[in-house]
């Protein structure tokens, strides 16, 4: 094949996905290794070295199947919120706590009392809840005394880049998921740092995705990558938007996975009261992986609901084409029932008969009802983004459920035109493109190849 290659690594909650791409943005090999969580009573945690080993394993396996050619750059994206504390020798102190872990119940209650949800939302762009790094950090200091010796804190992607031989840095979209970053000033919030027992000196230099951070070292043990330029690409949702081609200000990504997430790029500088309104509507506000942008992010469990409904019908993904064809012919005005998510199961409440009990529904009607229900849920978030930040530009859908033709039709009716991206691993692709930016393969993001790999993207 020849030519330069770019590698994107997406270290996610489920797995580390490594994909090798050509310079034109086409995938040529890939591999996935599960994230090695240890379950706890309150959620889960990770051994930082085990996570790094899994990421390196994914890279090695993907490279083994890659065609010949020089690897110019490696970009790493990751889940947010989780982080690792390091001692003066660079060794981890304590576990990485999962973003969904609830062990910090007392710390969260104290933060409510000390700072309060309104001030927290206006300052950070985040709701005051379990998830962010600062409450986990305070918990670690109280339960792992060795963590008090920490001289550095890194987010997941930053830890992996360091393990590959790169420089320590803090990427802005990941920094926005910590609860320590002031949104308007793009700087560290002293009050939140003091409350959690952290300090600005723990944090490395704040950078944007695509900043070159050295090269892959021989010590990483990946000969084909040695000398390739490294970059931290940021929070996986924003990086997926880049990979799917939702690059322009106002572009919106609809990531249709187990969790359905909307990711919209906006100009920075929304007023604090607007930020607070978005947060109250279930939308976080933070710095985007792309320089000079903010990101609006909201999510539902829509994909999980669809999976449960499909299973309840005794069907699986292979049955979708036929089921979608039938559901597309259902008149939505006749759907007066509802879908109720009961945690681990779904209850379908059929429409009532006049003067009689509930009327049974055909599978196609139930499926259409589910599609309408989850689309309305994500539509509420979409409308909130629009009401506070203006109309969106391009709406791009990715993920497994985007392959449902009936779902895409329902989305188009509720949200307006939706373009389905052909990209399978948008997070890894975005990371690879940002690696190309760091390595000088592309001069700017406007030169990224389009999502079909057939030309350059028009940055608008």
80-131 pLDDT tens trace:
999 999 999 999 999 999 999 999 999 999 999 999 999 999 999 999 999 9
Q: Residue 458 pLDDT > 70, yes or no?
A: no
Average pLDDT of span 56-80:
97
Task: Answer with the residue of higher pLDDT: 456 or 439.
Answer: 439
250-282 pLDDT tens trace:
999 999 988 899 999 999 999 999 999 999 999
The CB-based long-range contact list for 212-219 (8 Å cut-off, 24+ gap) reads 212/438, 212/439, 213/161, 213/166, 213/167, 213/169, 213/438, 214/165, 214/166, 214/167, 215/165, 215/166, 216/74, 216/164, 216/165, 216/166, 217/164, 217/165, 218/165, 219/165
- In total, the chain counts a number of residues equal to 460
399-408 pLDDT tens trace:
999 999 999 9
Give this prediction's pTM: 0.92
pLDDT computed for residue 352 by the predictor: 47
Q: Residue 452 pLDDT > 70, yes or no?
A: no
* CA-to-CA separations, 356 to 189, 352, 353, 359, in angstroms, rounded: 60, 7, 5, 8
pLDDT computed for residue 3 by the predictor: 82
Cα gap 386→170, rounded to integer Å: 30
- Cβ(73)–Cβ(430) below 8 Å: no
pLDDT computed for residue 347 by the predictor: 62
Q: Residue 335 pLDDT > 80, yes or no?
A: no
CA nearest 368: which of 394, 402, 407? 407
CA nearest 27: which of 53, 66, 81? 66
Q: What phi and psi values does residue 317 have, to the nearest 5 degrees? A: -60, -30
- Cβ(230)–Cβ(73) below 8 Å: yes
Q: Residue 423 pLDDT > 80, yes or no?
A: yes
* Residue 455 pLDDT class (50, 70, 90 cuts): very low
- Cβ(152)–Cβ(306) below 8 Å: no
- Cβ(23)–Cβ(3) below 8 Å: yes
Q: What phi and psi values does residue 419 have, to the nearest 5 degrees? A: -100, 125
Residue 277 neighbours by CB under 8 Å, 6+ apart: 388
359-380 pLDDT tens trace:
557 899 999 999 999 999 999 9
Average pLDDT of span 12-41:
96
pLDDT computed for residue 355 by the predictor: 40
351-360 pLDDT tens trace:
544 443 445 5
Residue 368 neighbours by CB under 8 Å, 6+ apart: 327, 328, 330, 332, 335, 406, 410
CA nearest 157: which of 55, 242, 57? 55
pLDDT computed for residue 354 by the predictor: 40
* Tokens encoding 78: 């990751």
pLDDT computed for residue 343 by the predictor: 53
Q: Residue 453 pLDDT > 80, yes or no?
A: no
Among residues of the chain, what percentage have pLDDT more than 70? 92
**pLDDT, averaged across the chain:** 92
* Residue 240 pLDDT class (50, 70, 90 cuts): very high
pLDDT computed for residue 300 by the predictor: 93
């Amino acid at each position: 094949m020849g030519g330069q290659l770019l590698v994107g690594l997406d270290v996610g909650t489920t797995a580390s996905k490594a994909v090798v791409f050509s310079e034109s943005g086409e995938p040529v090999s890939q591999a996935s290794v599960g994230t090695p969580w240890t379950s706890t009573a309150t959620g889960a945690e990770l051994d930082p070295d085990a996570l790094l080993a899994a990421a390196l394993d994914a890279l090695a396996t993907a490279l083994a199947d890659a065609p010949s050619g020089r690897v110019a750059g490696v970009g790493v994206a990751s889940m947010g919120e989780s982080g690792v504390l390091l001692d003066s020798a660079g060794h981890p102190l304590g576990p990485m706590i999962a973003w969904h872990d609830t062990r910090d119940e007392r710390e969260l209650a104290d933060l409510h009392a000390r700072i309060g949800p309104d001030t927290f939302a206006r300052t950070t762009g985040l709701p005051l809840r379990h998830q962010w790094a600062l409450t986990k950090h305070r918990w670690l200091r109280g339960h792992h005394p060795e963590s008090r010796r920490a001289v550095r804190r890194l987010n997941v992607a930053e830890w992996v880049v360091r393990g590959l031989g790169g420089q320590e840095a803090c990427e802005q979209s990941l920094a926005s998921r910590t609860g320590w970053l002031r949104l308007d000033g793009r700087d560290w919030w002293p009050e939140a740092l003091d409350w959690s027992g952290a300090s600005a000196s723990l944090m490395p230099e704040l950078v944007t995705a695509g900043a070159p951070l050295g090269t892959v070292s021989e010590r990483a043990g990946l000969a084909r990558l040695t000398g390739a330029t490294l970059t931290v690409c940021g929070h996986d949702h924003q990086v997926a938007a880049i990979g799917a081609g939702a690059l322009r200000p106002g572009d919106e990504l609809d990531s249709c996975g187990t969790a359905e997430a909307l990711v919209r790029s906006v100009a920075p500088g929304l007023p604090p009261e607007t930020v607070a309104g978005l947060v109250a509507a279930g939308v976080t506000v933070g710095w985007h992986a792309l320089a000079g942008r903010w990101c609006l992010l909201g999510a539902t469990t829509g994909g999980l609901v669809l999976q449960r409904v499909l299973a309840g019908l005794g069907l699986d993904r292979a049955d979708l084409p036929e089921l979608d064809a039938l559901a597309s012919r259902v008149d939505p005005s006749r759907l007066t029932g509802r879908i109720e998510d009961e945690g681990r199961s779904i209850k379908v409440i059929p429409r009532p008969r006049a003067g009689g009990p509930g009327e049974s529904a055909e599978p196609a009607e139930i499926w259409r009802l589910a599609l309408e229900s989850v689309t309305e849920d994500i539509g509420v978030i979409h409308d909130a983004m629009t009401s506070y930040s203006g109309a969106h530009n391009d709406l791009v859908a990715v993920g497994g459920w985007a392959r449902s033709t009936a779902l895409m039709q329902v989305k188009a009716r509720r949200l307006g035109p939706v373009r389905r991206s052909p990209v399978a691993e948008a997070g890894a692709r975005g990371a690879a493109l940002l690696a190309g930016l760091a390595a000088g393969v592309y001069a700017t993001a406007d030169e990224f190849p389009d999502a079909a790999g057939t030309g350059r993207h028009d940055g608008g």
